[in-house]
Structure 1
Amino acid sequence: MRRSLHRAAGAASLSLYLVLAACGGSDSDPVPTPQAPAATPFTVPKPAGANFNVLPCLSQLVAPGKTVASLVVPDTVTIDLSAPSGFPNGRRLTDSVIDITLAALFLDLTKEPVTRLTSLPLGPQANDLPFRPNFPYLAAAQGNVPAGPVALAGFNFRTDPPTSYVRVDRMGMPAVATVVISPSSKIRYNDGDPVDDDQLDYYPDINATLKAYADALSDDFAAAGLK
């Protein structure tokens, strides 16, 4: 866990202005926070003495031109076709999106690679069957799937024009809704829009949740040799 981080120079863009992550210490200078509704109290049991300042971490670079803050706010995935593909520049089926996002939030990227959690021998290291090289890319089913009759009628397919849809889902950054947003705010967050993120509606909630997890996990990170 990082105890201090110099604030990034330059204009205060959203990525540098939203300072919420868990790699700052109590010796960091306070960073002004935007005015927003108070966060719902969220507590997790923590070891004695754990009291991390969760302010100055999101200005770290997780990829060229990509700060940690941009992985959280807004909850969208972007792609630059001139840059190498792979999360956070788009997402491949094999990308460990959750592990990469959590490493960026909780570890000091000057001391740990953003793939640090991905390299831990926890969970499946690969899909059980190789992905297909062409659309729809998903791997074939296990075993011999019985071929039954195919119903070609009775379906009610939507025919709405594309302009009728606001977004496909709220899981551009799946670690945000599942980990960073507190349980009491998940429904409201999942029903919200990325524009709400830009307006910092969830800043207090994210700030409080990350601090709770940083305090609770600090001894585990130290025991695992994570920084």
Structure 2
Amino acid sequence: MRALPLLALAFTLPALAACSGGNSTAAPRPGPIEATPTPTPSPTATGTSFDVTRCLNQQPAPGVSVANLVIPDTLKLDVTKANGFPNGRGLADPVIDITLAMAFLDLTKHPLNLLASLPLDPPGNKVTLPADFPYLAPANGTPPMPSGGGTNFNFRSDPPSAYVRVDRMGMPAIATALVSSSMKNAYNDANPSDDASGKFVVELGTTLTKLTDMLADDFQRLSLNMCATPKTT
């Protein structure tokens, strides 16, 4: 997954604060004091709370809302439409950048690939991905290869009951970013059918609201239009 571009964008320029001193008594006059770089403090929070309903209702793809994509937490594919995240997922798709855009940005003002197009992350895998199945490129570097042309594999044959789910990766970043720490185990133990029943709707909305409230000043400083709207009360 690619790094979050907002973390690289949200920086402040240092300012120089100079000071000088001395006295007119018999004591030796001190030499000049070098200026010390002092970072400019980050902008203060706006104090405004936001309503994220519009973010959940906007459509990153025709006829599909953000809420439809994240609830239930499954990767969806409509074979009648162009493939590529969020409709399916290609190995080279910048899924995190696209997820951030559709969760925070006003898609009527910004394209879905806005954050993905910023030159802040590596543009792709260092090794070119093949166009044919299984599409996976060779490992980076020169790893030792077993004799036999890669046939020396020992696949596990344990039944599904022998495994424990530790994370959900249906829609990347949903379980990671929109589920609070206190709910992660419950969320990872649950199934998409629980999502569809509305079990985690409040949790996802609450966390998205908190993130929006914290990041609002950063979006505003970067002149990015948010999909969320300020609460009137």
Q: What is the TM-score when the length of structure 1 is the normalising length?
A: 0.70
Conserved in 1, the CA contact under 8 Å of 2:92 and 2:124?
Answer: yes
Q: 2:104 aligns to what?
A: 106
Q: Separation in 1 of the partners of 2:123 and 2:132?
A: 22
Structure 2 residue matching 1:157: 3-state secondary structure? coil
Distance change in 2, residues 1:154/1:206 (3 Å)? closer
What RMSD in Å do the two structures reach over aligned CA positions?
3.0
Partner of 1:82: 80
Q: Choose 1 or 2 for highest CA Rg.
A: 2
Once structures 1 and 2 are overlaid, which stretch shifts more, 130-139 or 91-100?
A: 130-139
Structure 1 residue 50: deviation in Å?
Answer: 2.3
Gaps of 5+ in 1: 1-45
Q: Which consecutive residues of structure 2, in runs of 5 or more, have no partner in the other structure?
A: 1-43, 226-233
| Deviations, residues 64-110 of structure 1 (Å, cap 9, x unaligned) | 12111112111111212221111121111111111111111111111
For 1:91 and 1:154, how far apart are their aligned partners in 2?
27
Q: Which residue of 1 aligns with 2:157?
A: 158
- Equivalent in 189, 192, 195 of residue 191 of structure 1: 189
CA contact (8 A) 2:69 2:76 kept: no
**Do the aligned partners of 1:98 and 1:174 also contact (CA within 8 Å) in 2?**
yes
1:214 aligns with 2:212: yes
- Aligned residue number for residue 117 of structure 1: 115
Q: Deviations over 1:15-72 (max 9, x none)?
A: xxxxxxxxxxxxxxxxxxxxxxxxxxxxxxx814221122233221111121111121
Give the SS at the match of 2:55.
coil
Equivalent of 1:146 in 137, 144, 147: 144
Task: Tell me the distance in 2 between the aligned counterparts of 1:214 and 1:76.
Answer: 23
Residue 182 of structure 1 and its aligned partner are, at CA, apart by: 1.1
Count of residue pairs brought into register by the alignment: 181
Q: Does the CA contact (< 8 Å) of 1:71 and 1:101 recur in 2?
A: no
Distance, in Å, in 2 between the alignment partners of 1:193 and 1:178 is 16
Q: Contact conserved, 1:62 with 1:68, CA < 8 A, in 2?
A: yes
Secondary structure of the corresponding residue to residue 168 of structure 2: coil
- Structure 1 ranges of 4+ moved more than 4 A: 149-156
**TM-score normalized by the length of structure 2:** 0.68
Q: Which residue of 2 aligns with 1:95?
A: 93
Q: Report how far residue 216 of structure 1 moved.
A: 0.5
Residue 12 of structure 2 corresponds to none
Contact 1:180/1:210 (8 A) holds in 2: yes
1:155 shift after superposition: 4.2
Shift in alpha-carbon separation, 1:159–1:204, aligned structure 2, 3 A: closer
Amino acid at match of 1:52: F
